[in-house]
Amino acid sequence: MSAASQARRMRGPDELEIVAFERGGFTSYSACGIPYWLGRVVRDRDSLIARSPETFRRDYHIDVRLRHEVTAIDLDAATVTAWDAETGREVTEGFDLLMLGLGARPLRPQLPGADAAGILGVQTLGDALEVAAALERDPRRAVVVGGGYIGLEMAEALVRRGLEVTLVEQRAQPMSSLDEDMGALVADALREVGVVLYTGESVTGFETSDGAVRAVVTEQRTLTADVVVLGLGVRPNVALADSAGLPVGASGALVVDRRLATPAPGVWAAGDCAEKFHRVSRRPVAIALGTYANKEGRTAGINLGGGYASFPGVIGTAASKICDVEVARTGLTAAEARAAGFVPVAATVDSTTRASYFPGASPVKVKLVADAGTGHVLGAQIVGREGAAKRIDAVALAVWNEMDLGELINADLSYAPPFSPLWDPVLIAARKAAQEVTAAT
């Protein structure tokens, strides 16, 4: 819808007819807000919806067709076929330009019992309504499978709703998008609010009765569960495009150029289904984030509307709030840097969000990763309390601009006692990382 509305801004309804097929019943909502709505931090479900189908129809003259699942794309015939869930009929539309915003599909474990009722995902607002309905039935025990952003945010939401919550994560620490030492801090925060955490433990199946889940079975134990929430991550939803003959890259997402054109003339792709260029690793990646989808939608929309725009790539910046702990990352972790062929050095510092003497100063830990050879800042991870996460943006632009540590140390970041120690935590980390580089060479 981001691409559609941007294209509409470029070309009026007399110049460009826009039809949008949507499998679900909603348009333009904040998927990232779902755990907070389920946890009753956000009270009004409708506040998550940025623009309704009616708004798109009325104000943007976009022919939004809800509950239409596209089942086939024929590039030669330039048609799209969709199944209308309301009428049960198939409809076919021709196109001059096609924009694919296919999104991602959540991973479901291929395990015994995985299709039982009560095993729920939380990707779409439709999913969220199912979870909300399940929570109305006053379940006592919840198991969350997978400790990524969604899994952790849902664990917190379920605690807020008064459930006994257990989280099972295959890896040694939750939040595997952080290095393990930083992920351990998130694990501590979860335990503090009462989440029982089993890490380094794989789910092997589900016990069910009458088609409903009763327990999650892991290698070590059986966890009784009235409701199971899956947070195993997502994969680009490319099957339809793949069938149509569009190339899928090594990342698993659709191959696009910088303008977000696929190799098929007139066919564009944006969002979770489209491959992104990672500016640090210099490799194609598939990262499903709302900010990327929205920015890419704008870029594709400008191009669809006859303008010229390009998307410069990503550096993997992300943030989340788990209980009272703020988490953020950008660029590469030390582990990712090694995998990308760098020789990383890392420095971790403990500082505070305000001058140490200022009321409300709270701890913030910054881990900065740099390339031992060039001193370039490769990435950072931040874990802390109120006021910690958004500090990642300064490092993000340091990474984006390929700054080296020597330059970052003296960078002109803001200081005032209510906002920062005299030396910003990021700069302290840069100083320490520079020492590590010196020691390593």
d(CA 257, CA 389): 32
Q: Does 44 bind a copy of itself (CB under 8 A)?
A: yes
Applying the rule CB under 8 A, the residues between 278 and 307 that interact with a copy of itself are 289-291, 294-295, 299
Residue partners of 370: CB distance under 8 A and separation at least 6: 344, 345, 346, 347, 376, 377, 378, 404, 405, 433, 434, 436, 437
Stretch of 120-128, 129-137, 259-267, 325-333 contacting a copy of itself, by CB under 8 A: 325-333
Cα gap 380→382, rounded to integer Å: 7
C-alpha 123 chain-centroid distance: 10
Decide: is 387 part of the binding site for a copy of itself (CB under 8 A): yes
Q: How far is the CB of 386 from a copy of itself (least distance, A)?
A: 9
Residue 32 annotated to the active site: yes
Q: Minimum Å distance from CB 65 to a copy of itself?
A: 24
Which residue of 98, 143, 228, 328 would you call a contact of a copy of itself, by CB under 8 A? 328
Give whichever of 44 and 136 is closer to a copy of itself, judged by the CB atom: 44
Task: Please tell me whether residue 435 binds a copy of itself under the rule CB under 8 A.
Answer: no
Q: CA-to-CA distance for 364 and 412, rounded, in angstroms?
A: 20
Among 224, 355, 363, 374, the residue binding a copy of itself under the rule CB under 8 A is 355
CA distance 441 to 221: 48
Separation of CA 150 from chain center = 8
422 lies in the site for a copy of itself, by CB under 8 A: yes
> Is residue 316 a contact residue for a copy of itself (CB under 8 A)?
yes
Question: Max Cα separation, the chain?
Answer: 69
Q: How far is the CB of 359 from a copy of itself (least distance, A)?
A: 6
Q: Kindly state whether residue 332 participates in binding a copy of itself, applying the rule CB under 8 A.
A: no
Using the minimum distance from each CB to a copy of itself, give the nearer residue, 147 or 316. 316
Closest CA to 157 of 46, 37, 326, 32: 37
Residue 248 DSSP one-character state: B
Q: Give, in order, the Cα–Cα distances in Å from 406 to each of 365, 370, 409, 421, 433.
A: 21, 11, 5, 20, 10
If one asks whether residue 420 binds a copy of itself (CB under 8 A), the answer comes out as yes
Q: Which of 36, 56, 198, 342 binds a copy of itself (CB under 8 A)?
A: 36
Residue from 14, 88, 137, 414 binding a copy of itself (CB under 8 A): 414
| 116 within 8 A of 206, measured Cβ to Cβ | yes
Helix (H) or strand (E) holding 85: none
Pick the closer one to a copy of itself by CB: 86 or 412.
412
Does 357 bind a copy of itself (CB under 8 A)? Our answer is yes
Tell me whether residue 230 or residue 403 sits nearer to a copy of itself (CB atom).
403
Q: Which amino acid is at 149?
A: Y
CB of 124 to a copy of itself, least distance (A): 16
Backbone angles phi, psi at 367, to 5 degrees: -110, 120
Contacts of 210 (CB under 8 A, 6+ apart): none
Tell me which of 143, 392, 430, 433 binds a copy of itself, using CB under 8 A. 392
- Could you say which of 210, 359, 439, 441 contacts a copy of itself (CB under 8 A)? 359
Catalytic residue among 32, 42, 116, 217: 32
314 sits near a copy of itself (criterion: CB under 8 A): yes
Residues 47-86 that bind a copy of itself (CB under 8 A): 47-48
Rounded to an integer, what distance in angstroms lies between the CA atom of residue 128 and that of residue 40? Answer: 12
**DSSP H helical ranges for 104-211:** 125-136, 149-160, 180-192
Phi then psi for residue 197, to 5 deg, are: -120, 125
Place of tokens 């993000």: 396
Concatenating the DSSP letter of every residue in 306-344 gives: T-------B---EEEEETTEEEEEEE--HHHHHHTT--E
Write down the least CB distance from residue 334 to a copy of itself, Å: 19
Sole window of 81-89, 124-132, 264-272, 421-429 interacting with a copy of itself (rule: CB under 8 A): 421-429
When binding is defined by CB under 8 A, the residue of 370, 394, 428, 437 that contacts a copy of itself is 394
Identify the residue among 19, 51, 417, 436 touching a copy of itself (CB under 8 A). 417
Residues that bind a copy of itself (CB under 8 A): 30, 32-33, 36, 41-42, 44, 47-48, 289-291, 294-295, 299, 311-312, 314-321, 326, 328, 330, 355-359, 387, 389-394, 396-398, 400-401, 403, 407, 409-420, 422-424
By annotation, the residues acting in catalysis are: 32
